[in-house]
Amino acid sequence: MIVLQTNASSDWAIFLGHFHPVVVHLPIGMLVMAAILEWFSRRKNLQTLQPAVAPILFTGSLTAVLSCIFGYLLSSSGEYNEDTLFWHQWLGIAVAVISLLAWYLKVYWQHIATMKKVYLPTLYIMVAFITITGHLGGNMTHGEDYLYANTPEPFHSMFGLPKRIATGTATRKIENIDEALVYQDIIAPVMEQKCWSCHNANKIKGELRMDQQDLLLKGGKHGAIIKANDPANSELIKRLLLPEEDEHHMPPKGKTPLTEQEIALLHWWIQQGAPFDKKVSQLKPDEKVKPFLTSLSSGNNAQENGESISAVFKESVSAANEEDIQKLRALNVVIMPVANGQHFLQANFVNATNFDDAQINLLNNLSEQIIWLKLGHTKITDRSMVEVAKCKHLTHLHLEHTAITDVGLAQLQDLKYLEYLNLFDTKITDSGIQSLAKLKSLKNIYCWKSKVTKTGIQALKKALPHVEIHTGWEETTQVSTKE
């Protein structure tokens, strides 16, 4: 099919073309209003409305022509499905032509009986074309299922409409998380919710489609966006990690961004080679993605040992008070949910390095909900550990580059869910890590550049046979039950 398009999409053409969605709503409103006024004004008591029809119809016609021009410029971007664009484009032009014809009939031919009979059907055809054209435009912008996606039950099932992920979440409950296909059941739903609206069969922004596996790997006009086993150099990850105000950040400003956990999930998948046919059990989940995988599991077949999901997700906590969250955010603390469908939170102090003991009490009212606490590089001391220990559901705790000593570490002995502890560049000694012997859930300890010795590590081995202690002396010191 032949589609009107410029030979090369200049910056000016694309710039002006982006005003098409703004301009197009004016003729739609005016032309529909003209048709409505014409219908009502034919009643005896409303004939005074007649004089308003012609000027509204004429103004709607002119703005329809203007909308077609902007639409023509936008089509030069090459970001839309050609078949849908063809029909949307020519039906839009038809609306402009028919509305001008209706205005001409209204003003100059109303005295001729034959033409008078043609006038009303022309208006009806105009409204019908507006409806179809608008629907096709919506399909290109929002996806083909935009109109019916949120049809409520029982009508959704009655008409056999496809299931859709609920707005605001990119997760589905999975009966057996270990048997789930990583791409199909976990990665694709995230992309569907956050990426496909701009990169699908009807809208191919940047010549990139992400809704099919082969096209996802192929990439867009700038080349491949995924480099298997190399997430750091994959354009997909680079774009996701750009500042939101950067024009190349994805998704673009105004769209719902990916959460930190969703980015970590994509990073993990690419690091594992970006496979499309592997199950969760065939890939080793890292510490960042385990909670996300847990949130997807219905819990009926979750493993209970080895690489199991954290037991903390069997607990139920109430939602945090928004005022308490805002108090921390005012200090540039990043507060985010850890798992969809639950109220557990992550508190990341990466942008709040001046946070100290005087402010630690701000965690009190969130102690039930916080399970990931990143206090690295802050100014806290042992005094803060009393408040940290009240976060009884903690699974991940970052204390790297802080003034924590053995005295503060001893306060953490009752954190029964703690799995990850980062003590990099602290003053912790053998005595300090020995106080962790009661933490049976502990799986990873990072103590590079601390005062921990091999003697201290060997002592901890006897109490925690499955822990991995990362020291920097060797890549990993893994504890075995043989020792």
- Both structure tokens of 171: 């997760």
Cα 254 from chain centroid?
A: 11
Instruction: Using the predicted structure, report yes or no on whether residue 299 has a pLDDT greater than 60.
Output: no
Instruction: Using the predicted structure, report yes or no on whether residue 147 has a pLDDT greater than 90.
Output: no
Average pLDDT over residues 44-55: 88
pLDDT at 200: 75
Q: Which residues pair with 398 in a beta bridge?
A: 374, 422
Instruction: Using the predicted structure, report yes or no on whether residue 378 has a pLDDT greater than 90.
Output: yes
- Prior bond of 251 cis (ω within 30°): yes
Q: Which amino acid is at 147?
A: L
Q: How confident is the model at residue 303 (pLDDT cuts 50, 70, 90)?
A: very low
User: How far is Cα 409 from Cα 437, in angstroms, rounded to an integer?
Assistant: 12
Cα radius of gyration rounded to whole Å, the chain: 30
Rounded percentage of the chain residues whose pLDDT exceeds 70:
83
Which alpha helices (DSSP H) does 143-204 contain, by range? 155-158, 188-194
Residue (of 241, 257, 269, 149) closest to 195 by Cα position: 257
Instruction: Using the predicted structure, report yes or no on whether residue 260 has a pLDDT greater than 70.
Output: yes
Instruction: Using the predicted structure, report yes or no on whether residue 157 has a pLDDT greater than 80.
Output: no
Give the angle 201-202-205 at the CA atoms, nearest 5°: 85
Q: For the structural domain made of 322-478, what CATH number should be given?
A: 3.80.10.10
pLDDT at 161: 61
Cβ proximity of 194 and 265 under 8 Å: no
State the chain's mean pLDDT as an integer.
82
Cα 105 from chain centroid?
A: 51
Strands in 444-446's sheet, in edge-to-edge order, are 334-337, 345-348, 370-374, 396-398, 420-422, 444-446, 468-470, 477-478
Tell me how far CA of residue 35 lies from CA of 52, 99, 271, in angstroms: 11, 10, 58
pLDDT at 257: 82
